[in-house]
Structure formats: C-alpha cells, structure tokens
Amino acid sequence: MKTLRDIGEDALIARLVGLVPRDENPAAGPGDDCAVIGFGHSLLLLKTDALVEHIHFLPSAPARAVGWKAAARVVSDFAAMGGNPAHFLVTLALPPETDVAWVEDLYRGIGDCLEKFGGVLAGGETSSIPTGSAAVISIAATGNVRPEHLVLRSTAKLGDALFVTGLLGGSIHGKHLDFSPRLTESTWLVSHFKPTAMMDLSDGIAKDLPRLAAASGCGFSVDHSALPITPGCTPAQALGDGEDYEILFAIEASRVPELLAAWPFVDIPLTRIGELVEAENSDELSGGWEHFRGDA
C-alpha cells in the first residue's frame, strides 16, 4: 500500500485533480499559484492556503505574527500572478483549551496584513478539534488581475533569464513570520517589464525553480555564485530552507539591461541567478520542502 510519504505532495496533487470535475477552459487551473477564472473586464483569482501548528509555526510563535503570515502567504500568491487581493475567508480549527486572547491577536495580525496590502474580511468558519490537536488556520481569498498583467508559470521560453527578488535562506530564524509579500514589486514588474513566467518561493528555490521550468517545458541552469544569500546562511540554506516568499521570474534576456537599470526598489535586491535551457541539459538541485516528505 502506498502512503502519502511514498509519493509526496506533487504526485498526490496530480492524482487528485483527475478525480473531480474541472473547468474545461480555465485561464489557469491547478499547478499555478492561484486559480484564474474569466470575470468581466478583469480576471478572478482564487486561492486557499492553510497554516498548521508544528508545520508552519510553533506554539511559542506570537499569535499576531502567525496571523500576519497566514494572510501574507495568500497575498504573496496573488503577487505571483500579477494581481491584487480582494476578499478573505478565514477558517479556524482550534482545540477548546486555546486562549481567547491568542485568537484575538491572531486576527489582529490578519488585519495588519489586509490593512497594508488591501483586501477585506468577508467571512469564515470556526470549528473545534480534539484537545491537544494542532491548530489549523486556513484562508481562502479572491483577488483580481488585469488580463494583460496575468503571469503564469507555464509561459517562459528557452533562453529567458531567471531572476529572484530579495535574499534567500534563513526563514527558520524568524523571517517566515515577518516577511513582506512582494505585491508592490510584482505590480511594477507586470506594468513595466512583464515577466514571461513567475511564481513565489514558498518551498525553497530547489523545489520551486524546477516546477516553474517544467511547467514551461524547459530545464534550467543556475549560477550558484550569484545566489543572493541572507547573511549568516549557507548556499544550501538559500536553495532549500523555503518560506522566503520572494518572487522568482523569467524574462527575455534582451530586456535584462533595461530592467536592471530601471529597478526602483533600492532596498530589495534583484538578482539574475541563471537561465532556462533545454530540458535534457537541465541542472539538478537538492533540498527544499515537500509536504508528507519533509525536507527533501
């Protein structure tokens, strides 16, 4: 009998999406950071995401920071599609011994994120779980994106340059609780230098870059000496720690000089880390996070 540990998250998703009815003509379906549905003069983005105690945060983590992270992860996915957040639904599954003040601070953290990046609470659900069980915070949200700004993972081409924003590695030391989703940077990119493909880095570049490349039918070449590493971290941590929530994107190589000259965010590095190549010539990366298997 195969278990979830045997097959891992990606293979599980591939199995499950074939078992239920699906939109025959989605703008983007399972496999991108958000689902995309045609909706009037804009496109509707759909996203759901969950935080699980002991997986995404420890019991000692400040509740307000956990709430920020729960909402900011969703905002990061909207940014990865070139869009903006709109309406949020929050589902809490908590053991009955949970401190009321902890839950209130959790919501304050969610509110902090919505006030900064946009979006409003539209509703949600609460449920009890058995005493001693791990808390779960699940957020479903809608967003929107202009059709001309939508960026998928699957539309890059051979020879495109690969870039990342910010610094990589060290999330376990606290960055995963106070990161800033790259919504402003993404909005600027899609308006001025629209990437050919884009996603956010949640599972580590060692896991996420191969996903982007494969979705576009390409392989990749990485310049390890160019990786923008968080001070105090190793190259292996930059590749595999995960939960950086930076933007990984591809862009035509001919546009690189102009992009670098125009990049307006002086406090946020923009680093070329490689290029897309023929699949048979692809580099291989190790590390990163995969649910049911843990660190790869």
pLDDT tens across 132-158, in order?
A: 999 999 999 999 999 999 999 999 999
pLDDT tens across 61-80, in order?
A: 999 999 999 999 999 999 99
- Give yes or no on whether 4-148 and 161-295 have one common fold: no
In this predicted structure, the answer to whether residue 222 has a pLDDT above a threshold of 80 is: yes
Composition of the chain by helix, strand, coil, percent to 5: 35, 30, 35
Domain ranges of the chain: 4-148, 161-295
Predicted confidence band of residue 292 (pLDDT cuts 50, 70, 90)? low
In this predicted structure, the answer to whether residue 197 has a pLDDT above a threshold of 80 is: yes
pLDDT given for residue 1 in this prediction: 79
The alpha carbon of residue 120 and the mean position of all alpha carbons in its chain are separated, in whole angstroms, by 20
User: Would you state the structure tokens that stand for residue 68, as one six-digit string?
Assistant: 């920020």
Q: What pTM value is reported for the model?
A: 0.91
CATH number at 161-295: 3.90.650.10
Question: What share of the chain has pLDDT > 70, as a percent?
Answer: 93
Burial of 91 (0-12, 13-18, 19+ CB in 10 A): middle
The domain 4-148 is placed in CATH, from the list 3.10.20.30, 3.30.565.10, 3.40.50.300, 3.30.1330.10, at: 3.30.1330.10
pLDDT given for residue 15 in this prediction: 80
